[in-house]
């Protein structure tokens, strides 16, 4: 099994706080705006970033950013918060989330070192203008003790239908927890398309390279588990598996309306069908899925209600599948 068959993307997150400033939950409007303006000035010399003050940005734009994973619910729940987003959406900087400055860089596929290098480059630009809260003994000081040290969290989003359908995710997660790595389902409601996030846990007393290496090794370990699970599914009932996949494809290509949750399910089984060779699909299935989510569709046109949106979603879904 190749990495592209089960790895979706990698992110590296760095949590930082500004020296001499209280944590975000105690920060005044004026001091929050100082952090925002200093960080934006530091990274936007080339004009590649856009600034979104959360309280002043249209709600649909804010939730579109959240839908894409560029900002978190914690940012939306924090006062005086803002987001600085790179226009190609390869990086985001959240201002006054849990910490003053949260830098996240994104890479497609498995690329822990590349994601960290991109986040670290932004960190260097910001630290040239902003003094961070740092301890020679502990490292970077964060609002959560769990993040003290490097302040680095590397995460990889995985597609694990084999483990999910054989009820083996918990066993795999337990094995990973013993080496300091977590594996949790993506929180996208009742159906998440068999997506899971593998993340580093420890930040204190370990180097950034050690964190990246541990995550990469863990992904390779999960690859072995997933490969065996997919083989087991096929060996157990190939006819039933193929029937489930082709029925799902048939509904997806003929439905009149489709909800967001249904799209997750359709694409999950379609990707699994492509892996087994039951179906032929485009390489950009993950991108197509993201374009069919609620707020992404809202960028295309205005809808009179959820039913109108679901009808339009089905039309776009069929366009993609029938031109593969």
The mean per-residue pLDDT over the stretch 175-187 comes to 92
* Residue 249 binned pLDDT confidence (cut-offs 50, 70, 90): very high
Provide the pLDDT for residue 108: 95
Mean of the per-residue pLDDT values of the chain: 93
* Ordered DSSP codes for 192-221: -TTEEEEEE---TT--HHHHHHHHHHHHHH
The mean per-residue pLDDT over the stretch 57-63 comes to 93
Provide the pLDDT for residue 113: 97
Q: How far apart are CA 196 and CA 211, in angstroms?
A: 19
The mean per-residue pLDDT over the stretch 96-109 comes to 97
Provide the pLDDT for residue 101: 97
Check: CB of residue 9 under 8 Å from CB of residue 107: yes
The mean per-residue pLDDT over the stretch 300-308 comes to 90
Of the candidates 2, 89, 29, 59, the one whose C-alpha atom is nearest the C-alpha of residue 287 is 89
Of the candidates 45, 146, 145, 54, the one whose C-alpha atom is nearest the C-alpha of residue 95 is 54
The string of pLDDT tens digits covering residues 193-238 is 999 999 999 888 999 999 999 999 999 999 999 999 999 999 999 9
Which tokens hold the place of 194? Answer: 């068999």
Dihedral angle, C-alpha 170, 174, 176, 177, nearest 10 °: 130
Q: Is the pLDDT of residue 322 over 90?
A: no
Backbone torsions φ then ψ of 100, nearest 5 degrees: -60, -45
Bridge partners (DSSP) of residue 182 are 199
Which tokens hold the place of 186? Answer: 């993506």
* Ordered DSSP codes for 81-92: -EEEEETTSSEE
Which tokens hold the place of 298? Answer: 């809202």
Check: CB of residue 93 under 8 Å from CB of residue 36: no
The string of pLDDT tens digits covering residues 256-300 is 999 999 999 999 999 999 999 999 887 678 888 999 999 999 888
Tally of CB atoms within 10 A around 312? 17
Total-model pTM: 0.93
């Amino acid at each position: 099994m190749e990495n592209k068959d089960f790895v979706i993307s990698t992110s590296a997150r760095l949590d930082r706080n500004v020296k001499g400033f209280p944590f975000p939950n105690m920060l005044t409007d004026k001091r929050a705006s100082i952090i925002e303006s200093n960080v934006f000035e530091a990274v936007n010399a080339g004009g590649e970033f856009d600034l979104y003050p959360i309280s002043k940005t249209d709600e649909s734009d804010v939730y579109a950013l959240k839908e894409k994973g560029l900002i978190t619910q914690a940012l939306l729940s924090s006062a005086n918060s803002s987001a600085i987003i790179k226009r190609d959406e390869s990086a985001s900087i959240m201002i006054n989330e849990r910490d003053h400055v949260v830098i996240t860089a994104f890479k497609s596929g498995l690329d822990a070192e590349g994601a960290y290098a991109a986040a670290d480059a932004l960190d260097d630009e910001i630290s040239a203008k902003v003094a961070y809260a740092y301890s020679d003994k502990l490292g970077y000081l964060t609002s959560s003790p769990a993040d003290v040290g490097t302040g680095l969290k590397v995460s990889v989003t995985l597609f694990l239908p084999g483990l999910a359908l054989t009820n083996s995710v918990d066993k795999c997660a337990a094995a990973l927890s013993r080496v300091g790595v977590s594996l949790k389902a993506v929180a996208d409601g009742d159906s998440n398309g068999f997506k899971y996030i593998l993340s580093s846990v420890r930040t204190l007393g370990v180097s950034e390279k050690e964190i990246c290496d541990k995550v990469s090794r863990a992904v390779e370990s999960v690859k072995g588990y997933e490969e065996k699970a997919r083989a087991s599914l096929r060996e157990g009932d190939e006819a039933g598996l193929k029937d489930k996949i082709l029925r799902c494809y048939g509904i997806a290509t003929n439905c009149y309306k489709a909800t967001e949750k249904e799209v997750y399910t359709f694409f999950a089984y379609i990707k699994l069908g492509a892996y087994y060779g039951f179906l032929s699909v485009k390489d950009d299935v993950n991108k197509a899925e993201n374009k069919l989510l609620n707020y992404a569709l809202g960028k295309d046109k205005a809808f009179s209600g959820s039913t109108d949106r679901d009808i339009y979603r089905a039309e776009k879904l069929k366009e993609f599948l029938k031109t593969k």
